Amino acid sequence: MRIRLFYFVLIFSFLVSIHLQAEDGYRLWLRYDEIKDTQKLDTYRASITSWIIEGSSPTLKVAGDELNMGLKGLLGEPIPSVNTIEEEGVLLVGTPSSSPLIASLNLDEQLRGLPEEGFIITRTSANGHSTMVIAANGEVGVLYGTYHFLKLLQTHQDIDKLSVKSAPDVQHRILNHWDNLDRTVERGYAGFSLWDWHKLPDFIDPRYIDYARANASVGINGTVITSVNANALILTPAYMEKAAALADVFRPYGLKVYLTARFSAPVEIGGLETADPLDPAVQKWWKDKVDEIYTYIPDFGGFLVKANSEGQPGPQDYGRNHAEGANMLADAVAEHGGIVMWRAFVYSEEVPDDRAKQAYDEFKPLDGSFRDNVMVQVKNGAIDFQPREPFHPLFGAMPQTPLMMEFQITQEYLGQATHLVYLAPFFEEVLQADTYAQGEGSTVAKVIDGSLHNYQLTGVAGVANIGTDRNWTGHHFGQANWYAFGRLTWDMGLSSEAIAEEWIGMTFTNEEGAMKTIKSMMLNSHEAVVNYMTPLGLHHIMGPGHHYGPGPWVKEMSRPDWTSVYYHRADEEGIGFDRTASGSNAVAQYFPPVAEKFSNLQQCPDKYLLWFHHLDWDYKMKSDQILWDEIAYHYQAGVDTVRQMQESWNSLESEVDEERFKHVQAFLEIQKKEAVWWKDACLSYFQTFSDRPIPEGVEKPEQSLEYYQSQRFPFAPGIRPRW
Ligand code: BDP
């Protein structure tokens, strides 16, 4: 009896553990659980009875595997693959060159002009039977089309009259991992680096494959696997072999590997005395090094470089400019088809001018002097991934140099992994901003997709939020930002709402009411975090070094533009950074209509007010409130929104599996606590200048200012090793 009970308990706990494992978020948005809506399920089962993929390349094989797994899971029964079309209900997948069946269909018209990665999903007649077809000119297009098709099922779309034609808006859609070789992740809040360097190349963690699947499913086609604060060791044979093993895993998924290049590598690992980009020996060293990399990784994508920025070595160490540095590397990779992504995130120690102006001042004069295979990678805003920033003035200002957007997906300045912040609305806000570079309608998106200046190279980068945490991103909702990054870089015209709907449908629910509740939590979340951290254009007032929590009082750092007081400039009179003509005049870097708008107090949107203006505490806002009160109300509104998010989430208890429900619930509680902390710490501090009461309706700070100032977080995650 006892033995039986023992086995019963054992089996029971095993089953429970399987169940729990299934809801830990590991499967991301590729869950493929059986469709619960029986009507939908029946229609899908009737429409898809078998599938064919002709051809046997690795990419077609993974497309077939995904289709097999996806259909079986979603439809709740295995859907066989067949060799011929003898009935309706066959899903035909492939390219005209890999599939004679597809070649025999009259798809030329539809496929014409479609890039290799694009795809069509259509219905046509094959062998006299109405057949659904996923077709592309390139095999990766087939894979992307397959994921798209599965997504239609996952989100319960009508597939009867399908007519999809899709192609990416930009060529390079790239994750930037700030992963170190010791597996720490700079500004990573989801555990350690996925790359198990020590065991590579021999041990291939199955997670690498799931990582590649997830990226392919949203069209991400490149990954920079090492940190921008680069280590030259990655360019040594032992590490290149490891990187090559990753590249081998990623290749079938259309995911290229890129590396960060440490500019001083010729000295550090090459034994040269200089890394001067104009020195022929240095040029040769890089050329040889690149040739060597290509022997390991034949389709190596190229380099991402952070140079002469925050202490990183660069061409300026030798009196050369950024273009000379970038061009040397560009020449080395050119014959292999590689590219160089050269970052514009620079600000010089010697220049006492407004940090917001420095990237523009340094790069604008170099427009037109970069090689054709260089993209300059520009952060979305001119400071540094703050909760909200106006778009970077470089966008639109370099017509002869392809500019690549850099977003930060990891939430370094946005509550890190415990705050639910859906970033798509912010990405969308930046992409849709009008630069006026060529008159009205010259949006940042049009700069980035190349249409405004006819760029031949186009790209978007996102600093990854991915790590070894079982759910990949720390917060279950962090997955939505990875997802949204991929979707938006594929189609910059997609709305953040539409992307949220897809993601919710694939991860949590397609049930209308619950979907609506989750969607509204997501869509309000970015505004909420801006409100409780940096409302009305405030920026860079976070804790020093780790960037966790509030630190508006920070004033002792090794450089003034790392402090908070440099940015908020609060004094007895008022608050804000005057970037108009009477101040740093950073506003002049924008095209005149934008500069005028931001300079003019009547026209400057409230959300950028203190970014561009220093205003009196009793400045009358459009709302009729005085500035001080308005600031306080915004902080309170941020806290209130988080409380609403908590209520919304709690109402979903019966709609969401217990494990993810509780996880998110606990994180929302942390978020609420920290939102209150931000509000209280910032209001207490700014009140010492404003000398005005906390207005009616705003909760009083819970602790004294001294208490907030005394908080220390020496072990906050994601800190740069040297800090
Ligand atoms: C800052 C991060 C720092 C990065 C830097 C960069 O705090 O860790 O190295 O950006 O983008 O926001 O290079």
Q: Measured from the CA of 413, which atom of ligand 1 is nearest?
A: 12
Q: What percent of the chain has pLDDT over 90?
A: 94
- Residue 15's pLDDT band (boundaries 50, 70, 90)? very low
Q: Measured from the CA of 384, which atom of ligand 1 is nearest?
A: 12
- 310 flagged as catalytic: yes
Output the CA 289–ligand 1 centroid distance in Å. 27
The pLDDT of residue 353 is: 87
Beta strands at 90-94 and 129-135: parallel, antiparallel or unpaired: parallel
Mean pLDDT of 583-612: 98
pLDDT digit string, tens, across residues 48-68: 999 999 999 999 999 999 999
| Selection from 432, 341, 439, 352 nearest residue 390 by Cα | 432
Mutate to test the pocket of ligand 1, among 263, 308, 379, 384 (most ligand atoms within 8 A of CB): 384
Output the CA 359–ligand 1 centroid distance in Å. 14
CB-based contacts of 464, cutoff 8 Å, min separation 6: 175, 176, 177, 178, 223, 409, 410, 482
pLDDT of residue 316 exceeding 90, the answer is: yes
The pLDDT of residue 14 is: 45
Q: Catalytic: which of 179, 186, 406, 412?
A: 412
DSSP string, 76-142: SS---B-SS--STTEEEEE-TTT-HHHHHSS-HHHHTT--TT-EEEEEEEETTEEEEEEE-SSHHHH
The pLDDT of residue 348 is: 76
Q: Catalytic: which of 54, 196, 268, 310?
A: 310
pLDDT of residue 4 exceeding 90, the answer is: no
Mutate to test the pocket of ligand 1, among 262, 412, 559 (most ligand atoms within 8 A of CB): 412
> Mutual orientation of helices 322-334 and 280-296 as an angle, nearest 10°?
40
- 42 flagged as catalytic: no
pLDDT digit string, tens, across residues 235-282: 999 999 999 999 999 999 999 999 999 999 999 999 999 999 999 999
Going from the C-alpha of 73 to that of each of 32, 76, 211, the distances in angstroms are 5, 5, 19
Euclidean distance between CA atoms 296 and 281, whole angstroms? 23
Going from the C-alpha of 639 to that of each of 64, 668, 674, the distances in angstroms are 47, 11, 9
Beta strands at 403-408 and 459-463: parallel, antiparallel or unpaired: parallel
The closest residue, in CA terms, to atom 1 on ligand 1 is: 384
Output the CA 237–ligand 1 centroid distance in Å. 28
The closest residue, in CA terms, to atom 12 on ligand 1 is: 384
pLDDT digit string, tens, across residues 413-459: 999 999 999 999 999 999 999 999 999 999 999 999 999 999 999 99
Identity of residue 175: L
**Homologous superfamily assigned to 172-507:** Glycosidases (3.20.20.80)
pLDDT of residue 678 exceeding 80, the answer is: yes
Residues 627, 616: contact at Cβ < 8 Å?
yes
Output the CA 639–ligand 1 centroid distance in Å. 28
Cα-trace Rg, the chain: 26
Mean of all residue pLDDT scores within the chain: 95
The pLDDT of residue 558 is: 87
Q: From the options 3.40.605.10, 3.30.379.10, 3.30.300.130, 2.40.290.10, give the CATH code of 23-166.
A: 3.30.379.10
pLDDT digit string, tens, across residues 136-158: 999 999 999 999 999 999 999 99
Query: Which residue's entry shows tokens 């380099």?
Result: 303
pLDDT of residue 409 exceeding 90, the answer is: yes
DSSP type of residue 33 = P
Q: Measured from the CA of 186, which atom of ligand 1 is nearest?
A: 8
Output the CA 408–ligand 1 centroid distance in Å. 10
pLDDT of residue 538 exceeding 80, the answer is: yes
* Ligand 1, residues at Cβ distance < 6 Å: 186-187, 228-229, 306, 310, 345, 384-385, 412, 720
Going from the C-alpha of 285 to that of each of 262, 295, 340, 480, the distances in angstroms are 13, 16, 17, 42
pLDDT of residue 721 exceeding 50, the answer is: yes
pLDDT digit string, tens, across residues 187-219: 999 999 999 999 999 999 999 999 999 999 999
The pLDDT of residue 17 is: 44
pLDDT of residue 314 exceeding 70, the answer is: yes
The closest residue, in CA terms, to atom 2 on ligand 1 is: 187
Mean pLDDT of 560-570: 95
The closest residue, in CA terms, to atom 11 on ligand 1 is: 345
Euclidean distance between CA atoms 548 and 416, whole angstroms? 7
What are the residue ranges of helices labelled H in 335-419?
A: 355-363
- Give the CATH fold of the 531-577+614-710 domain: Alpha-d-glucuronidase, C-terminal Domain (3.90.1330)
pLDDT of residue 19 exceeding 90, the answer is: no
Q: Measured from the CA of 227, which atom of ligand 1 is nearest?
A: 9
- Residue 555's pLDDT band (boundaries 50, 70, 90)? very high
Domain boundaries, the chain: 23-166, 172-507, 531-577+614-710
Q: Measured from the CA of 406, which atom of ligand 1 is nearest?
A: 11
Tokens encoding 32: 């493929």
pLDDT of residue 12 exceeding 50, the answer is: no
Euclidean distance between CA atoms 680 and 678, whole angstroms? 6
Mutate to test the pocket of ligand 1, among 176, 187, 559 (most ligand atoms within 8 A of CB): 187
DSSP string, 423-490: -HHHHHHHHT-B--BTBTT-BHHHHHTSTTTT-SS-EEEEE----SSTTSSSSTTHHHHHHHHHHHHH
Q: What percent of the chain has pLDDT over 70?
A: 96
Q: Catalytic: which of 23, 186, 276, 384?
A: 384
The closest residue, in CA terms, to atom 13 on ligand 1 is: 228
Output the CA 615–ligand 1 centroid distance in Å. 30
Q: Measured from the CA of 306, which atom of ligand 1 is nearest?
A: 13
| Residues 433/437/439/444 CA torsion (nearest 10 deg) | -30
Output the CA 419–ligand 1 centroid distance in Å. 20
**For the whole model, what pTM was predicted?**
0.96
The closest residue, in CA terms, to atom 9 on ligand 1 is: 229
The closest residue, in CA terms, to atom 10 on ligand 1 is: 384
Output the CA 195–ligand 1 centroid distance in Å. 20
Beta strands at 374-379 and 403-408: parallel, antiparallel or unpaired: parallel
Output the CA 589–ligand 1 centroid distance in Å. 23
